[in-house]
């Protein structure tokens, strides 16, 4: 590896990427974490995590750090008691930081709201009193489908305060998707808004949730925040306005202590089958790793930094790095409601300039979009406050990494490429700013206290330079505790592939470089990654075949310059259905309605046949070749070897 300062031409090829960026000594001198942390944690992993758990305020001390006797079901900080919301809010007020801004909220139309920790305590207490007044008790599930408004964060924290289990459903998910998530978790209450701002205009929200809750027997109340002021349908006795319910509540709420393993939330994510998995997280271990990683990976200095994570609270990144990690650490952060190009393409840079944002955490798909919009846009703004840049959601290509560093980070801000999953709860693999010599495109090394390996099919660790599957070979505090209502699926999905070794199978391909640093190579299962969102091929296929004109469908993720992968669907139509543009449009819209606009296929290609093996498995590899305009690969395992010619010539005819 050569060390250089980044002038070399952008290489967009992981296998030849060799640039290395050593940390600035001045940064290293003041960094939150030292190189020695790795060895220290390695020497006694449990002692290391116990020390990190002391970042939190506990009401009762634990008697055991880790109980792994029921593996793969872990218990961390056994016997310990705490209240997660008190840790994220009250204790900062008690420590004299009540006047510190917790949230600089920026609405899409330009309205703003600064919320101090003292004000946050009042809002969360009132919301907790309101939810308790609905008869909810610890352990009950509350569904939340909301845009990025402060009330969404108040709701999550109020649930945590009462021991209610929240299930946040991304605002872009369809009524059908919301309904199945509500049913699976049997949520008693749904919190939503009348509407939401999307690209400068109000769009409906409650219309969709009404469609969902028309068929959800478990929902007793729907709490509605007024955001856009648009007209909504109202179901008397069930619907209640947030302001009617919350505004008059007492500002004091006495919190209860909950067990470290008390469930905190469920978050649904796509798996390899059509049915999303309700990933379960608990309290003490989750908050410990959220707080530690936010402190270590972003080098957070709560007194001086202004932090901004651009994720939506509907995803795990929003849970851990907008709500729980930063607030547990007493950070000041920006929360932005809208899209990055509303009202103009410099919106993010304008917000960074205005709030002097020092830590910015976003996704590769957005970085590539910024690249497309042009470097002259960020150049118009003062970005000199930025000192740490983060990336999450998918592998970042070296070209985008270098652009991010040069045009946003002025060639000096360290970039942390953070690998983790809904299931891991918090960051697992990432460089540490001030410690790691960074490499464009590599997440590099498991954090102190975390262990990850790249192994072959037999579970044997591959040599430096070799590739295979990413596994996590030691339990970690914020690991998922199961899949809601389906312990068998939990074992099957994550623990059966390397049952003998007891490894957690992450579903990602990875390789070691010559230094032993880890490079993530994308999913190895049927999960696509579109703009950092996980969508399963099966989920989209089921949506397509649910349409009366479709006989059969096969879906692949094809490389896409902006979104990482784009969804390409191959469909066989029924009988007399016509293979024309209007059918294609109908099918794309149908998928958007079934799952949500993020799952809308980039292309729908009508074909007469699909390539299958003799055992009837669709050979997606060959379809991916077609979707990516490549020479079609090895077809010898096809039941009918002429199928690919038929598909290719059929596509040419219809082009």
> Rule CB under 6 A: which residues touch ligand 6R9?
269, 315-317, 392-395, 417-422, 443, 506-508, 520, 523, 529, 532, 534
Which lies closer to ligand 6R9 via its Cβ, residue 365 or residue 422?
422
User: 420, 146, 173: which is closest to 279 by C-alpha?
Assistant: 420
User: What is the smallest separation between the CB atom of 420 and ligand 6R9, expressed in angstroms?
Assistant: 5
Whose Cβ is closer to ligand 6R9: residue 255's or residue 390's? 390
Instruction: Using the minimum distance from each CB to ligand 6R9, give the nearer residue, 504 or 570.
Output: 504
Q: Is the dihedral of CA 190, 106, 313, 201 positive or negative?
A: positive
Smallest distance, ligand 6R9 to C-beta of residue 421, A: 4
Q: Token match 């899409």: residue?
A: 108
State the minimum distance, in angstroms, from the CB of residue 454 to ligand 6R9.
13
Beta-sheet pairing, 564-573 with 550-560: antiparallel
Taking the complex as a whole, how short is the minimal distance between the CB of residue 373 and ligand 6R9, in angstroms?
22
What are residue 392's phi and psi, to 5 degrees?
-155, 150
Closest distance to ligand 6R9 from the beta carbon of 428 (Å):
9
**Residue with Cβ nearer ligand 6R9 (253 or 277):** 277
Q: Which two tokens stand for residue 576?
A: 């007399």
537 phi, psi to nearest 5 deg: -60, -40
Compute the least distance from the CB of residue 90 to ligand 6R9, in Å: 28
Please, what is the minimum distance in Å from the beta carbon of residue 491 to ligand 6R9? Answer: 19
With a CB cutoff of 8 Å and minimum separation 6, the contacts of 497 are 503, 505
Q: Which is nearer to ligand 6R9, 223 or 558 (CB)?
A: 558
Q: Are 409 and 415 in contact (CB under 8 A)?
A: yes
CB 118 within 8 A of CB 124: no
Nearest partner of 506 among 486, 516, 520, judged by Cα:
520
Of 293 and 332, the one with the shorter C-beta distance to ligand 6R9 is 293
Question: H/E element holding 51?
Answer: helix 45-53
- Distance of closest approach, residue 219 Cβ to ligand 6R9, in angstroms: 26
Cα of 458 vs its chain's centroid, Å: 30
The helix (run of H) or strand (run of E) holding residue 536 is strand 533-536
Whether residue 7 contacts residue 22, with contact meaning beta carbons closer than 8 Å, is answered with no
- When the beta carbons of 177 and 443 are compared against ligand 6R9, the nearer one is 443
Q: Which two tokens stand for residue 404?
A: 């991010």
Question: Which segments of 344-464 does DSSP mark as H helices, in order?
Answer: 347-355, 364-373, 376-379, 398-403
Q: Is the CB of residue 238 less than 8 Å from the CB of residue 209?
A: no
Nearer to ligand 6R9, 307 or 570 (CB): 307
Alpha helices in 134-174 (DSSP H): 150-162
- Please identify, using beta-carbon distances, which residue of 117 and 420 lies nearer to ligand 6R9: 420
Q: Give the whole-angstrom CA distance, residue 444 versus residue 437.
A: 9
* b/e 144-158 (16+ beta carbons within 10 angstroms → b): bbbbbbbbbbbbbbb
Q: Which residue lies nearer to ligand 6R9 by CB, 38 or 315?
A: 315
* Minimum distance of ligand 6R9 from residue 472's CB (angstroms): 11
Rounded CA-CA distance 310/353 in Å is 15
3-state secondary structure 191-211: EEECEEEECCEEEECHHHHHH
Q: Are 85 and 161 in contact (CB under 8 A)?
A: yes
Q: CA 326, CA 339: separation in Å to the nearest integer?
A: 22
Closest CB to ligand 6R9 among residues 294, 523:
523
| Residue 437 C-beta: closest distance to ligand 6R9, Å | 18
Residue (82 or 454) nearer to ligand 6R9, CB: 454
Shortest Å, Cβ 276 to ligand 6R9: 11
Residues contacting 311, CB < 8 A, separation 6+: 317, 318, 321, 322, 361, 362, 363, 392
CB of 479 to ligand 6R9, least distance (A): 13
């Amino acid at each position: 590896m050569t060390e250089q300062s980044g002038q070399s031409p952008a290489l967009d090829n992981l296998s030849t990427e060799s640039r290395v960026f050593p940390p600035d000594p001045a940064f290293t001198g003041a960094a939150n974490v030292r190189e020695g942390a790795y060895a220290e944690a390695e020497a006694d992993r449990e002692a290391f995590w116990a020390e990190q758990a002391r970042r939190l305020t506990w009401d009762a001390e634990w008697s055991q750090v880790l109980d792994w006797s029921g593996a793969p079901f872990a218990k961390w900080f056994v016997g310990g008691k705490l209240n997660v919301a008190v840790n994220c809010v009250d204790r900062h007020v008690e420590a004299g930081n009540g006047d510190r801004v917790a949230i600089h909220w920026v609405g899409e139309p330009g309205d703003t709201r600064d919320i101090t920790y003292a004000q946050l305590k009042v809002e969360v207490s009132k919301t907790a009193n309101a939810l308790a007044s609905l008869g909810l008790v610890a352990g009950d599930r509350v569904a939340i489908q909301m845009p990025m408004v402060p009330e969404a964060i108040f709701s999550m924290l109020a649930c945590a305060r009462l021991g209610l289990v929240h299930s946040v459903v991304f605002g872009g998910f369809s009524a059908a998707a919301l309904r199945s998530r509500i049913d699976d978790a049997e949520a008693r209450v749904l919190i939503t808004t009348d509407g939401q701002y999307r690209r400068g205009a109000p769009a409906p929200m409650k219309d969709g949730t009404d469609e969902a809750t028309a068929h959800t027997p478990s929902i007793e109340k729907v709490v509605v925040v007024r955001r856009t002021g648009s007209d909504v349908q109202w179901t008397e006795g069930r619907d209640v306005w947030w302001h009617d319910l919350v505004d008059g509540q007492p500002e004091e709420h006495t919190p209860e202590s909950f067990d470290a393993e008390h469930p905190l939330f469920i978050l649904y994510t796509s798996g390899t089958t059509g049915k999303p998995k309700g990933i379960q997280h608990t309290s003490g271990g989750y908050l410990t790793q959220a707080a530690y990683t936010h402190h270590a990976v972003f080098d957070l200095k709560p007194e001086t930094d202004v932090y901004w994570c651009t994720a939506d609270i509907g995803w795990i990144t929003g849970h851990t790095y907008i709500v729980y990690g930063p607030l547990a650490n007493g950070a000041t952060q920006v929360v932005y409601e809208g899209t990055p190009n509303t009202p103009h393409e410099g919106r993010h840079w304008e917000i960074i300039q205005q709030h002097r944002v020092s830590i910015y955490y976003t996704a590769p798909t957005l970085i590539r979009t910024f690249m497309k919009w042009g470097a002259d846009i960020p150049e118009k703004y003062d970005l000199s406050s930025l000192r740490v840049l983060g990336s999450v959601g998918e592998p970042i290509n070296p070209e985008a990494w270098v652009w991010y560093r040069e045009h946003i980070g002025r060639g000096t801000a360290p970039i942390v490429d953070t690998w983790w999953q809904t299931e891991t709860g918090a960051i697992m693999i990432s460089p540490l700013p001030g410690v790691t010599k960074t490499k464009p495109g590599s997440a590099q090394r498991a954090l102190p206290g975390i262990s990850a390996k790249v192994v072959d099919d037999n579970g044997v660790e591959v040599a430096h330079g070799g590739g295979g599957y990413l596994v996590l070979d030691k339990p970690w505090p914020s690991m998922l505790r199961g899949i809601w209502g389906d312990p068998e699926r939990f074992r099957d999905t994550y623990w059966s592939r390397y049952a003998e070794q007891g490894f957690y199978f992450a579903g990602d391909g990875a390789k070691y470089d010559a230094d032993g640093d880890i490079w993530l190579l994308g999913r190895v299962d049927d999960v696509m990654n579109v703009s950092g969102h996980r969508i399963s091929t099966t989920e989209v296929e089921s949506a397509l075949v649910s349409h009366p004109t479709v006989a059969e469908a096969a879906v692949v993720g094809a490389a896409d310059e902006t979104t990482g992968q784009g969804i390409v669907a191959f469909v066989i139509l029924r009988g007399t259905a016509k293979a024309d543009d209007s059918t294609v449009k109908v099918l794309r819209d149908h998928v958007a309605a079934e799952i949500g606009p993020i799952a809308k296929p980039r292309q729908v290609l009508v074909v007469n046949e699909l390539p299958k093996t003799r055992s009837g498995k669709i050979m997606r590899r060959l379809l991916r070749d077609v979707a990516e305009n490549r020479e079609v690969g090895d077809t010898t395992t096809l039941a009918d070897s002429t199928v690919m010619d038929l598909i290719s010539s059929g596509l040419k005819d219809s082009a």
